[in-house]
Amino acid sequence: VDTFDCSDVGDNNVILTVTDVNGNTSTCTAIVTVEDVTAPTVVCQDITVVLDATGTVTIAGIDVDGGSTDACGIASYDLDMDTFDCSNVGDNIVTLTVTDVNGNSATCTATVTVEDNTSPVLVCQDFTLELGADGTAILDPSDVIASNDDACGIFTSAVDITDFDCSDIGAPVTVQVFTIDVNGNLASCTAEVTVVDNLAPVITCPADQTVDPGPGNIFYILPDYFATGEATAIDNCTDPVTITTQSPVAGTPLPDGVHTITFTATDAYGNTSTCEFELTVESVLGAEDNHQNLGSVKMYPVPTNNILNISNPQSLELERLEIYDLRGRLVQSADLRGMGNVKTINVDQLAAASYYVKIKGANGEITMRLIKE
């Protein structure tokens, strides 16, 4: 054997036969050791790979091999880096080592370009947006995002409509929601925004106060405090506030005492607020209320059960007696003309309560408190 190839790498036994000119021969044996010391011819190629939904990608050495060769055959293709993630987006230099079947190796480098082409997984949700005290509200993208996932991370999110006011109350407003990941991939979805006004009007009551019914009056006639401007109501979305109430209502006659006056205001969306103040009615009796000429007129007994006596010791010219309940209603009257010094009045039909008795004469009138038992 005088020719060897890759299959003969290693020790080979050969027989040498020597023949002289006369045809005599002799033989011996020898070992021929064949070695392969030639490295492969290595060729690399650049490649582009795309991250999967988990943000990773793995390649093999053969992926960047550009046609490496070896006479005896290639045993392996090895890379110094074969797994890539979001931190590797862009160009990455890798080294390919090609080893032949006899252990000879050679290297080359290639550029692996890693791309992230996967959009975020964006899920929208409908949202109810409450207006503030100024009648406006700002929608934050997070309000309408149920989930927003991306393997490499979210860069920013946005909505196409951010500012809302009272004019948006009613039908839901459709907004477009956008999100962009750190590598520029975009996703979008839509959500319905329902704008509501849940703020009640701001209502202001008059301060607690004391009033006098005025000369000759048993009752104080309650005014309309909203009409006078002493009670006010303002609202973020309803201007003016027209649904207001006052209790007791305007025009109610109030007797002496402490009364709680309550106000309510309701906006166009049903939100209601209340406030109250204490009104003290306190009659200031003077000459015009209890005419000095009627100062001698008395009534007894007080309290009484059934009979009320009117005493007129000076035989003053009296005209009429009127009994009012605490709501200002005339409940009984009597003619006092020509009564003389004493007149007896039957009050058994009156319910047990407090009353005001007004006695009128030619020269004035007087008011007294009656308790019926």
Average pLDDT over every residue of 259-264: 97
**pLDDT band, residue 2 (cuts 50/70/90):** confident
Q: Tell me, what's the pLDDT at 292?
A: 46
| CA pair distance 9, 4, nearest whole angstrom | 8
- Same domain flag for 57 and 84: yes
Whether 253 and 312 map to the same domain: the answer is no
Do 144 and 177 fall within a single domain?
Answer: yes
Q: Are 218 and 257 in contact (CB under 8 A)?
A: no
Q: What are phi and psi of 214, to 5 degrees?
A: 105, 160
The three-point CA angle 228-233-235 to 5° equals 150
Same domain assignment for residues 272 and 329: no
Out of 74, 92, 115, pick the residue that ends a domain. 115
| pLDDT exceeds 90 at position 310 | yes
Q: How many domains does the chain have?
A: 5
Is the residue at 287 inside a domain?
Answer: no
Nearest to 241 by CA among 222, 264, 216: 264
296 and 368 share one domain: yes
Q: Are 53 and 34 in contact (CB under 8 A)?
A: no
Instruction: Please enumerate in sequence order all residues whose Cβ is within 8 A of that of 103, keeping only pairs 6 or more positions apart, or say none.
Output: none
Instruction: Note the pLDDT tens digit of each residue in 266-301.
Output: 999 999 999 999 999 887 644 344 444 677 888 999
**Helix extents (H) in 283-349:** none
Last residue within a domain, chosen from 81, 115, 149: 115
pTM comes to 0.67
Q: Domain containing 224: what range?
A: 202-281
Per DSSP, the three-state class of 189 is strand
Does 109 lie in the same domain as 92? yes
In a domain, 41, yes or no: no
- What type of residue is 359? I
The answer to whether residue 5 is domain-embedded is yes
Do 103 and 132 belong together in one domain?
A: no
Single-letter residue type at 109? T
**Same-domain check for residues 187 and 208:** no
Question: Which amino acid would we find at residue 96?
Answer: L
Whether residue 286 lies inside any domain: the answer is no
